[in-house]
Amino acid sequence: MAYEQLILPGGYRSRLNIMETEAAIKLAKDTFERELASALNLTRVSAPLFVRPETGLNDDLNGVERPVQFDVRDLHSDVQIVHSLAKWKRMALGRYGFSAGSGLYTDMNAIRRDEDLDNLHSIYVDQWDWEKVITREDRNVDTLRDTVCRIMQALRRTQEVLTARFPVLDPYLPENITFLTSQQLEDEYPDLTPKDRENAAAQKYGAIFVSQIGGKLRSGKPHDGRAPDYDDWSLNGDILIWYPVLGRALEISSMGIRVDENTLLSQLEEADCMQRLSLPFHQMLLNGELPLTIGGGIGQSRLCMMLLEKAHIGEVQASVWPELMYQACDRAGIHLL
């Protein structure tokens, strides 16, 4: 299955050798981390690799992915490696006393054992998870759009630094990003799958933000799956860049304004997940014990792959791949770490 999804660009050759690649990875990560923190007023904090399942803190993603779980002898119970830190970050903002307009970011590492492996997806996930406190008045589309534009500015600034250091790289990121709802995409491309709609729109505009992901469209199907208890499905979305190396859209961030007590209830009911209301995180939210926030994740290896113009995420990240993928990539001049 993984081999069938693999894209092997004809005539591909990495623009950087392996030592240049390692230097560029560090420069990209250091630069973007600094730019992101400045753009969104974020402070770096430490974060957990695993959480107790009974807390409800783990991200359920699309609701079908199995977390890696193991027992801890002295706890006499199991813990789960996080899928993401969407809920943990919100609790941390309250515990640490962050005020409106400020927030945190952290290095998040995860294992997603059920990921379909291809050029963009690995079982090892590394991303910057960030979260920022907002007011109830800030829970609107303008706040979401302004945040997206600030992230794009940090991306472009990082690209400028990289291309100055490594002139062989192309500064291909567009100046502007186009905002589209998932319903607008379905209306414009009714005969395409959601992923093909994203590809068509990203190729047309260069960079897009697809919003309102999770709820059902007029076709009766959602654009994509989202857990019902962290993003507000009317105020979330994905940043996608048209990536010429692979000839497809590349998602660089999933983000959104988080649920308040009202949207939590309505989305849990729509998703038939009302049993989650008994979990500690959900009780805290309903009782007004958690701040209102906006947040997201930005893939570190995904960003490096994109800015270094690599054909496979395994060129910037050491992971494991099927043997057929190793062989096919090697024949195509794609050297996996």
Q: What is the CATH number of the domain that holds 325?
A: 3.30.930.10
Q: Domain span at residue 291?
A: 18-331
Active site (annotated) includes residue 258? no
- Please report whether residue 244 resides in a domain: yes
Quick one: pLDDT at residue 62? Answer: 60
Catalytic residue among 59, 126, 138, 315: 59
Active site (annotated) includes residue 127? yes
Catalytic residue among 33, 84, 112, 234: 112
Give the mean pLDDT of 23-45. Answer: 97
> Counting every residue, how long is the chain?
337
Task: Classify residue 222 by its DSSP letter.
Answer: B
Active site (annotated) includes residue 238? yes
Active site (annotated) includes residue 78? no
Catalytic residue among 84, 127, 234, 253: 127
- Please report whether residue 336 resides in a domain: no
Catalytic residue among 129, 198, 238, 315: 238
pLDDT grade, residue 260 (50/70/90)? Answer: very high
- pTM for the full model? 0.91
The pLDDT tens digits for 119-163 are: 999 999 899 999 999 999 999 999 999 999 999 999 999 999 999
Quick one: pLDDT at residue 1? Answer: 46
- Please report whether residue 4 resides in a domain: no
SS3 267: helix
Total domain count, the chain: 1
Distance between CA atoms of 26 and 153, rounded to whole angstroms? 19
- Please report whether residue 12 resides in a domain: no
- Please report whether residue 68 resides in a domain: yes
Active site (annotated) includes residue 254? yes
Per-residue b/e over 158-181, b at no fewer than 16 CB within 10 Å? bbebbeeebeebeebbeeebebbb
